[in-house]
Amino acid sequence: MIFRTEPCQGFLDLTVRTLGIIFFILGFMTPVMVRGQVRNVDLVAENPVDAILKALDTHDIVGFGEAHISENEHRVIQALLSDPRFPMKVNDLIVEFGNSRYQSVVDRYVAGEPVSDSELRATWRNALFFMVWDRPVYEHVFQKIREINRT
């Protein structure tokens, strides 16, 4: 069973598991949103993966800010996605780096169906700020979600 809402224009919804929790990867800030309120969480004091997963225990929506094309931040993102606790806590992953016009392509890809490299790359290459998104770190997020969904 897949829980989905209508995708926002310019964003992609990558379903991991149906658990009713949404994890956002957005740019420029790291908020934790609770019932319409935003408060910053200090992720420096502890392991960022543990802090994000801990926040998911008590918050419906958790945001992770990203300095675009930052290798360090993408190591954290990959570590988070690789953590075995992640699929048990997260339902929908919404990312900034893509065009919702290609939602069906991404849905097929993360579900493990065959999708050509050129078809998948159009997802972020035909998006706003495509020069920012056209880096391997963003493709790796799609690949990791596909890998998670295989299990």
Percent of the chain at pLDDT above 70?
A: 69
| Confidence class for position 41, pLDDT limits 50, 70, 90 | low
* Least confident window among 5-9, 51-55, 120-124, 146-150: 5-9
pLDDT of residue 80 exceeding 80: yes
pTM of the predicted protein model: 0.66
DSSP 6: P
pLDDT: which is higher, 87 or 36 = 87
What is the pairing mode between strands 61-66 and 37-40?
unpaired
